[in-house]
Homo-oligomer: A and B are copies of this chain.
Amino acid sequence: MISWKNMDQTAAFAKLAALKDRVDLTKAMAGENGARRVTRYSVPMSNGLVYNYAAKQVDDEILGVLCELAAETQLAEKYKALYNGEVINTGEKRLVLHQLTRGQLGEDVMADGVNKREFYLGEQRKVADFARRVHAGEITNEAGETFTTVVQIGIGGSDLGPRAMYIALENWAKQNHTFHMEARFISNVDPDDAASVLAGINVARSLFVLVSKSGTTLETLTNESFVKDALRNEGLDPSRHMVAVTSETSPLAGSSDYLAAFFMDDYIGGRYSSTSCVGGAVLSLAFGPEVFERFLNGAAAEDELAKNPDPMQNAAMLDALIGVFERNVKNYPVTAVLPYSQALSRFPAHLQQLDMESNGKSVNRFGEPVSYVTGPIIFGEPGTNGQHSFYQLLHQGKTIVPLQFVGFRASQIGRDVVIQGSTSQQKLGANVAAQIMAFACGKDDENPNKSFEGGRPSSIIVGDQLTPESLGALLAHFENKVMFQGFVWNINSFDQEGVQLGKILAKRVLAHDTDGALKAFSDMLNI
């Protein structure tokens, strides 16, 4: 029987406060003890990835209590309830089924009169078939020319995840001869966004993927009009250039304005939709459906591992619990995501949405205020770039920021150069290893300006190479981490009521139905 209770009602959480300052990383990570921690504090993930938390401020005793917290908050049971189709999104009274877009984790889930796994698979197959026909030149523009570019029109979850995944696999696909079409993305309602994307492509050879679950997202519909105008201006028929990704109940679903329509549903939140046809259409068109399927397989394998009720063997669950320790016991307000991989340059922006939109909440799943802090602020840039930017504050600033590193042993393209006896890829790896230790142990110096206090916790996920599979696993890891943290905090990670008020007020501004300060700001902006 699942019991949804607030974190501060658990016995385990009460124990954690006394353990707050137990681990001094400068000592724990020094010498052979440090080396032992690196060996012991490691959890295998799927697809060759490993989650290493040696440089976190935990020890066996804290980990023991975190395991108690996992048991007491029934993390494994709640995950099971979720993938078996319970109404986990209580605010919107919806199932939460994004894992089902990539695998069958438990029982068949029936909703809306259909088997949901079959439904998602069916849509994936429709997308795959469509992409193959585009690649084969069976679906062309009116002049019979093949499409060379795919442009995703979407915002938020219809943009950040698919865009980050595209950037992550673009070079890999080119290297592995599975690259079919360039992708571009239009998201912002700023008209310069659409205008500049359109100016940079051959519109006549472009296929546009309009993504809006509701079919009513203002930015997306506005940008659709922008694109349709551009197509018409070139004498083209927009309906020959556009496909829709939407829900079956949306106004876009049955429209003849689109070459094809692919469906998601209300059980897949935007920020969890990269493995649905929201990511599937653009990624299958760009890289081929086989690559998209490999990406799904990577995510599915990681979802399977997340079932393990033992946090010590469940990287997503352990990552979540350590994050809770850092947020609620150590009181760190921010977490940085630092992939040492240029291909993951926009992965932090995706995680920023995933985490902050899911867990940036102040009420529990019953709508009652919680008395503890919830999701952290997330930011990040790829390394080594960040080292030459904001790492100064991370090393010597007054606010401690836990770090989430990601690194790979091999690059995607494989072209490299040896300078001073090492390749660039080795330099990249050496830097991330060095940073973990510099943050953990610091270094005294008689000049206090050159002194490093250390005690900055970090973890690292290491893999062989960023491939479709390992990318899928990485994505699922963070989705599941965020889900487990939401369970611990007893919040609903799957709605986003916080985005509504701004929308309502913006409509009032556009209707000139304002007074007071809102009118004054509107006047200032010449609305």
Q: Is the CB of B506 within 8 A of A367?
A: no
Q: Cβ of A499: which chain B residues have Cβ within 8 Å of it?
A: 387-388, 391-392, 395
Query: Do A524 and B52 touch (CB < 8 A)?
Result: yes
CB distance from A27 to the nearest CB of B (A): 12
Report B-chain residues with C-beta under 8 Å of the C-beta of A177.
none
Q: A249-291, CB under 8 A of B: which get 1 and which 0?
A: 0000000000000000000001100000000000000000000
A396 proximal to B (CB < 8 A): yes
5 shortest interchain CB distances as A-B pairs: A360-B393, A156-B388, A34-B517, A434-B505, A360-B397
- In the assembled complex, which residues on chain B have CB atoms less than 8 Å from the CB atom of A17? none
The contact of A362 among B342, B397, B462, B504, by CB within 8 Å, is: B397
Chain B contacts for A128, CB-based, 8 A: none
Residue pair B430, A506 in contact (C-beta under 8 Å): yes
Interface segment out of the listed A7-15, A314-322, A416-424: A416-424
Given contacts A429-B525, A462-B525, 15 further A-B contacts (CB under 8 A): A54-B517, A156-B385, A187-B385, A190-B384, A192-B411, A218-B420, A229-B417, A349-B389, A353-B388, A360-B395, A361-B396, A372-B398, A378-B390, A430-B509, A431-B502
Residues of B within 8 A of A191 (CB): 411, 413, 415-417, 423-425, 428
Would A527 and B411 be within 8 Å (CB), given that A342-B192, A501-B443 are in contact? no
Answer whether residue A87 sits at the interface, using C-beta atoms and an 8 A cutoff.
no
- Using A188-B342, A190-B382, A190-B425 as known contacts, say yes or no to A525 and B363 having CB atoms under 8 A apart: no
Residue of B nearest to A186 (CB): B342
Selected A-B contacts with CB under 8 Å, 27 pairs: A29-B517, A38-B517, A38-B520, A156-B388, A159-B388, A188-B342, A188-B382, A191-B417, A194-B424, A218-B427, A360-B395, A361-B392, A361-B396, A362-B396, A362-B453, A363-B448, A392-B496, A395-B499, A433-B518, A433-B522, A433-B524, A434-B502, A449-B497, A450-B497, A450-B500, A452-B498, A462-B525
Contacts of A376 in B (CB 8 A): 399
Max chain B CB contacts within 10 Å: which of A91, A392, A415? A392
The segment out of A294-302, A333-341, A476-484 that lies at the interface is: A333-341
**Given known A389-B356, A499-B392, contact A508–B434 (CB-CB < 8 A):** yes
Quick one: copies of this chain in the complex? 2
- Complex CA–CA separation, A167 to B374 (angstroms): 35
Q: Which of B192, B373, B411 contacts A190 (CB 8 A)?
A: B411
Q: How far is the CA of A460 from the CA of B522 in the complex (A)?
A: 12
Q: Flag whether A58 is at the interface (Cβ < 8 A).
A: no
Q: What DSSP secondary structure best describes chain A's contact surface?
A: helix
Flag whether A369 is at the interface (Cβ < 8 A).
yes
A375 within 8 A of B: yes
Is A37 an interface residue when CB atoms closer than 8 A count as contact?
A: yes
Contacts of A450 in B (CB 8 A): 497, 500
User: How distant is the Cα of A356 from the Cα of B499 in the complex, in angstroms?
Assistant: 28
Among listed A70-78, A129-137, A220-228, A304-312, interface-contacting one? A220-228
Contact, CB under 8 Å: B34 / A367: no
Asked if A162 CB lies within 8 Å of chain B CBs, one says: no
Instruction: Tell me which residues across on chain B come within 8 A of A423, comparing CB atoms.
Output: 191
Q: Is A5 an interface residue (CB 8 A)?
A: no
